[in-house]
Structures are given as structure tokens and as C-alpha cells.
Structure 1
Amino acid sequence: MTDQWLNQVFCEDALSGLTRIPDGSIDLILTDPPYNLGKDYGNASDQQTVDDYLRWTEQWIDAALPKLKPNGSLYIFLTWRFSPEIFVLLKKRMTMMNEIIWDRRVPSMGGSVRSFSSVHDTIGFFVRRKDYYFDLDAVRIAYDAETKKARSRSIFIGAKWLEVGYNPKDLWSVSRLHREHPERADHPTQKPLEIIERMVKASCPPDGVVLDLFMGSGTTAIAAKRCGRSFVGFELNPDYCAIIDERLAALDLPPVVKKKPAPRKPAAKAAPKATPEAPTKATPKKIAAAKPKPAAKRLSTAV
């Protein structure tokens, strides 16, 4: 089968579109399905009954998992309201490695007065078998200079972890994309590139393929392309498909080089203006010299 489906985002329903993809050809499924919280994505995908939502979720999971390679992985964004049920569905089919909490850094303003404010998303990390691909070194976080200095004793010399950084924990504190953020597209639940790129680098080999069944604003495709991986995905809303096309096209544009303005030629020097001589300080000698001498007196003699 040809690979014409590679590096494409199809504007169609994922359940029907998955037939395009050969079984066992995907290294990483990374997806952010509707949370069923009633948001408007241009369709009713986020406005189902609980039973219908869970039934639909099981349907697309069973259609997508055969596309994974035997050593492939899956990351799924969820709300805490439905993550327990969906995690159970996935645990029956895969091995759960992590429950990752994304702290969205929501400001402490307003919110419910009858419960604690919800400021996180839940992410499930699942694998098919024990030899799954995982590159920890690609996503380590560097220690700051102060920490390195504190670990300067001889027992730490040559320690790899001190030089290459530490393993990201399962609590990821990354700001949500506010309206003024330069990365922000016109999508209500866009995820930050920082998070998606971490998943791609850790769980998809450099020559691998990432699948996203619910592309939204296309962040998974953007992250895959930026990280040198291939991608494939689906999105129902044609307006979001247009956004994805624009974002992917922007990656191919050459960087804008701002030219330095040409140096201005120095203006011709004008002839110096004649200026009156500055007055000098008068001294007694100079004052005396400046006074006119009296005319000589004529002498008269008697005849």
C-alpha cells in the first residue's frame, strides 16, 4: 500500500478516515478528543449523553489501536470527569504508564463557590508492550547553575543525570494559551506546543509517524513537523482544517530577515558662521591704554 496518507490532515470523520491507514504503521497516537463538556466545535461532538459519549469513545479506540505498531504508544487528553471510565477502557487493551496532570496555570480568580476550582487536564500515557519506544534524553530538563554548584562534591562528578538534566515529572506546569499568546489560533481548546512536542520527542522515533484523530487547530501536526516526524490526522470542522493548512504552510515560509538600514551619508559641513568676538576681561592697564590721550597744550609767551 502506498503512503499517500502520510503528512496529511483529512477533513473528515476519523472513524471512516482510519480505513486509509494500514494496520501496524503508526508509532504514536497522540490525541485530544472532545471532553463532552458542551463546547461548540461546529458540530455536536461535545454534546452527547454520558452513555453515548463513552460508547463513541470505545468505538474510536477500538478502530485506532490496530494502527499502532507493536511497540507503539498512546497519549490521550481528558477531563477528570471522564478519565476514570476511559482509563478503564484503555487498561483492558494496553498498559498504563502514567497519569500526567497538566497544570494550566489558571489565575486564581472567580470559579465555583461550592467546590474547588478545576485548573488541570488529565493525560493518560499507555503502551502496547514492554519494549515500547521511549527516549528520555530527548526531553530531560536542564538543571540550573545553582543546582549544579550544590552538587559539586566528588560523588557527583561525571554523573550523567547532572549534565543532561532530570526526568520530567508527571505534573506538567505549562501555561494555557491566552488570547494574546503568539501561538494562539482560533480554537477554544488549543494545546501548547511545549506539551505536544515533549510527547512526540519522547515517544516517536525520528523516522516515525504520529496519528491524531481529532486535530483541532493542528498542533500535533505542527509539533511532528517541527520535530522531524511524519503525521496523519483527521478533523471534522472545515474552518479548523483551514487553520491547520495555514499553520503548516507558515512553517515552510523562509524566515523574515530584517535588513539593516543603509548608513546615512554624512551631511556636508557648512562654513562656520561668523561670530562676534567674545569680550575680554578688562584690566587696569588695558583700560588706561584705551583712553584717548589729551591734546598738547599750546604755550603762549608775552611779546
Structure 2
Amino acid sequence: MIAWCLSRLNSKFCLFMAEKESTNPLFSNPLETYPGLTVSDLNRYLPALQKADDIEMTIDNMHDGVYLSDGLEGLRKLPSASIDIIITDPPESPWRGKDRPGSPMTLQEYYKWNNNWLEEAYRVLKSTGALYLFCDWRLSGMYHSMLTNFLHVQTRITWRKMQAGETSKAVTWKNQSADIWFATKTKDFLFYREAISDQKDMEPALAQETGPSNLWVDILDTHITPAEEMSGDKPELLIERILKASSFKLNWVVDPFMGSGGVGLVTKKLGRRFIGFEADQDQLLISMKRIDQS
């Protein structure tokens, strides 16, 4: 038997293995794998996979990790007032739970589901904590309304969401933007203006006088084709700007719907500590690989 775990050492994620009996791989014959994962990857990361039931944290005993878990279930496992910043892009069409599998939620179910995880997000945030929520324009109004039930909405950031090389034609006006809602738990929160003073779409003097703009046209989604786009990933510079503005090194960052781990990847590069949840096992394995190899 091989026991694996994903841990953190000297501010870096590391994978370590304790051999008890043998080192036989889980898979040795050719098999169809998920894009981005090889048989070698499966042998390496599947035994290290952790689930929500493996989460045992207290406010004085926190640790990095990524978990196979629904975001709501994962958030419920975290201590109250333990997280500095949540950055996430909730799924637009989540599937029903085990009681009613196989079909997406109705609009009423989706609203209730969002309300439940936002309530948990509020609970786990520190008093100075913040939430950055990515969403499509179709859902932006709904999220604004829901966020005001729990948090203090500071602003809506609009960024240029346009894939390079995109050739599809719109029937009417072509949408090339998306929103990020920035909300805080209280009116006393961290915002480090100097860290983002190099915002390229503003003149330096204007940035110093009025503050950084909430219209981000200087960061472009650079995915060339859908095949190259990891599920849920955003441009690294986008996540980097958010982290530099609203967190310091060693702060705790959570993504309840992490997809292929883009937020975790940038979090690690910037020296923050990351906890992520993903309900899709293949996507979780991709994220483990990316974070481990970064």
C-alpha cells in the first residue's frame, strides 16, 4: 500500500510518499485519460487525492490543500473567521445533488444554492476579509443582489473577456466583457493601492489622484482555442492583481469552485496559502498536477 498526501513545506506545496509495502503503480496498461493527464499522472496524483471528510482544521491548525468536494461542503469544513480572501467563479449550471442526480438545477434551486455557499463564505471570512466573484453579465445582477444580503459590495470590476483569435460572429452586439464583484465582510478591509499602481490602462498621476480604475481593459484573455483553455481559468495577471490588492504573503486564499486550479497556481507563485475545492475529479487531478509542478 502506498500512502500519499499533499502538504506544504517552506511555503511551497510538495508531494511526499511513504512506502509501506510496494511501489506498484495503480495503472500500467494503456487507457484513455482526461486531456492533460497521463497514466503517469494518474499513478502519481490519484493516491494523493483528498476529500472533504479529510479536512480537519481549527483556527490554530490550518493547512494548505485541494479537495474533491462540492464548494458548499468544503466551506462548511473550514473554521469561522479563518480566511483572508475568497476568489471564485461559481458554475453557471451546477448539477443537483445525490438526491436528484442527472439534471441541472432550476433557477429557484440555483438561487438557493448560491445563497447557501455565500452564507458560508461570509462565515469563514475574517473581519477584514474580501470576496472576489467572477460572473457572466447574465448573472451579474443576481449576484449583486445576493451579495448585499451578506457583505459590503465595494465595486463591480469589468474586464475584457475576449479570447485571442476568436472568429465567431454575434447576432447582435458582441459581448467582450465580464464582471468581478468585489465585496468585503466589514467596512474595515485590506486594500493595498500601491501594489497595483502600475495598472496599464491608467496614467500614473491619475491613478495616484483618484485610485485604480474598476475598468480593466489592459488584461486580455489569451487562450487561443477552447482546447487550450483550462476549465474556469482566468488570465494569471487578473488573479495576480486581485491578490496583490487584497492580500499579503502567507494570507489564506480559498477558491470553492477551483476548476483546474488557476487561482491556486497564482496564489502559490505569490507566496500565499491556498485551499481549494472541486467536485470534478479530473479537474481536481489537473489542478494537483499544475500546482505541484509550478
Q: Which amino acid aligns with 2:72?
A: L
Alignment of 1:251-290 (within 5 A): 251=294
Structure number having the greater strand percentage: 2
Contact 2:81 2:123 in 1 (8 A): yes
Distance 1:90 1:216, change over 3 A: same
Counterpart in the other structure of 1:93: 150
> Which residue pairs with 1:51 in the alignment?
108
Instruction: Indicate yes or no: 2:76 matched with 1:31.
Output: no
Match of 2:253, SS? strand
CA distance in 1, matches of 2:94, 2:136: 9
Q: Which runs of 5+ in 1 are unaligned?
A: 39-43, 152-158, 252-303
Contact 1:35 1:46 in 2 (8 A): no
- The answer for the alignment partner of 1:111 in structure 2 is 169
- Does the alignment pair 1:217 with 2:275? no
Cα shift readout 1:64-97 (whole Å, capped 9, x = no counterpart): 2100001111100011111111211111211111
Partner of 1:237: 280
**Is the contact made by 1:24 and 1:69 (CA closer than 8 Å) also made in structure 2?**
yes
TM-score (norm 1): 0.67
Conservation of the 8 A alpha-carbon contact between 2:265 and 2:290: yes
Match of 1:10 in 2: 67
Unaligned regions of 5+ residues in structure 2, if any?
1-57, 96-100
Deviation of residue 231 (structure 1)?
Answer: 1.1
What residue identity is the alignment partner of 1:112? A
3-state DSSP of counterpart to 2:232: coil
**Residue 84 (structure 1) aligned with residue 129 (structure 2):** no
Q: For the structure 1 residues 180 and 167, does the alpha-carbon distance in structure 2 shift closer, same or farther, using more than 3 Å as the test?
A: farther
Greater than 6 Å deviation, 4+ residue runs = none
Contact 1:185 1:217 survives alignment (8 Å)? no
Alignment partners' CA distance in 1, 2:103 and 2:159: 21
Aligned match of 1:189: 232
| Distance in 1 (alpha carbons) for counterparts of 2:283 and 2:274 | 17
Q: Is the 8 A contact 2:59 2:82 kept in 1?
A: no
- Cα 1:93–1:230 change in 2 (3 A) is same
TM-score, length basis structure 2: 0.69
CA RMSD of aligned residues (A): 3.0
Contact kept in structure 2, 1:139 and 1:167, CA below 8 Å: no
2:108 is paired with a residue of what secondary structure? helix
Residue 227 of structure 2 is aligned to residue 169 of structure 1: no
Q: Distance in 2 between matches of 1:109 and 1:45?
A: 33
For the pair shown, the structure with the greater C-alpha radius of gyration is 1
CA distance in structure 2 between the partners assigned to 1:46 and 1:29 by the alignment = 28
**Residues of 2 paired with 1:93 and 1:109: CA distance?**
40
Q: Secondary structure at the match of 1:71?
A: strand
Would the alpha carbon gap of residues 160 and 78 (structure 1) be closer, same or farther in structure 2, given more than 3 Å must change?
closer
